[in-house]
Structure 1
Amino acid sequence: MKNVILYAFVFSLLFNVFQFVNSTKILEGKETEVQKVKTQLKTSRDSLMQLSNSNYFALESDEDAQEYFFSNNLDYQKVAVKVKEDLIVLNENKNGNQLVPYEPIDGKSFIVNTSKILNHRWLIAEFSNGDLWGQILVKYFVSADRPTEFETVETVLYERQTKN
């Protein structure tokens, strides 16, 4: 009888040691997994914060600018489409877009490629002639019955990149 009790005691001791080692490994594995998830969550939060900050200056998120158009009985989404269309129409000039204050270089005129409406008064646009590019800050004035009026506020033309 003593042997049976001794064997049962040794067996239970070994079983408990096995359980302790096994649960410690599982716990460490789960802790590592939790740390990885926390890192991914922090990265995701940082990305979302950058994304929300990147759209801070946009007509779509500027309630004051939207209210300005609403008070003038205009739909800001339709205004945005109209402004962009009127801006692109200016590209049809043979000397390039008149908002870009640079003369054609090497026979290539500057045209506006893309733009972003910042609020009810300003937009920023990127222009190029195929070799050189730059950006313009434009003030615009919208009226329902006339084409949009544009006024260039500031421009920047980037230097031509040289190949080493």
Structure 2
Amino acid sequence: MYLFIFSMLLVVFQYVNSKRILESYEEKIVKKEAHRVRDGVKFTDSISDMRDEISKLSEFSVMNTESALSYFEEKGYSVSELIPFIKDQLYELNLVKGDEHPLIPFPALNGGKMMIDQIRVLNHKWIITNFTDGKYWGEMFLSYELSEDKKLTFKVEKSFLYPFN
């Protein structure tokens, strides 16, 4: 009889303990699910914001300007080959011997040479670049023309050097 009572107490104790553990796990699951849903909404918003930002940044790009693409195609150029060619031509101007860059209208102020750093081809006529001598930097707005024999000519329309600190 004592054995029966002892085993009943043991079963009741295990039942209560198991129930408490199960409720604790269920509570943790509910909290994790709530966090997952909240984080999912947050990540969805972040992804949406990033897509909007990418869309804004790619607005002024030759690859997203239909009229510029059709202009090049009508002339018989492959845009996927032409854009790197234009950029390479500008970067090659960095290698020209001498103290000054042929396009950048500002002399280097720290003893080096001003060089084109980044290039964005806006459309079939315009380019934006930034340039630096390692310490000072500025930006240029260029127009360009591609002749029938694939010779590029660049013209500086506007440029500026950022103020010194």
Q: TM-score scaled by structure 1?
A: 0.76
Deviations 1:78-136 (A, max 9, x none): 22122112212222141332211113434322121221111111111111112211111
Q: 1:152 aligns with which of 150, 156, 164?
A: 156
Residue identity opposite 2:141 in structure 1: L
> Contact conserved, 2:131 with 2:137, CA < 8 A, in 1?
yes
1:123 lines up with 2:131 in the alignment: no
| Identity among equivalent pairs (%) | 22
Report the equivalent of 2:106.
102
- For 1:124 and 1:139, the matched residues in 2 are separated by 9
Within a 5 Å distance, the mapping from 1:1-164 to structure 2 comes to: 25=27, 26-27=29-30, 29-91=32-94, 92-161=96-165
- For 2:30 and 2:147, the matched residues in 1 are separated by 67
- For 1:131 and 1:23, the matched residues in 2 are separated by 59
- For 2:85 and 2:97, the matched residues in 1 are separated by 18
> Contact conserved, 1:112 with 1:126, CA < 8 A, in 2?
yes
Query: 3-state SS of the aligned residue for 2:67?
Result: helix
Backbone CA RMSD of aligned residues: 2.6
Query: 3-state SS of the aligned residue for 1:88?
Result: helix
Count of residue correspondences:
147
Residue identity opposite 2:132 in structure 1: S
User: Which deviates more from structure 2 when the two are superposed, residues 60-69 or residues 87-96?
Assistant: 87-96
Query: 3-state SS of the aligned residue for 2:151?
Result: strand
Please list every run of 5 or more consecutive structure 2 residues that lacks an aligned counterpart in the other structure. 1-15
User: Which deviates more from structure 2 when the two are superposed, residues 135-144 or residues 77-86?
Assistant: 77-86
| Shift, 1:54, TM fit | 1.1
> Contact conserved, 1:139 with 1:150, CA < 8 A, in 2?
yes
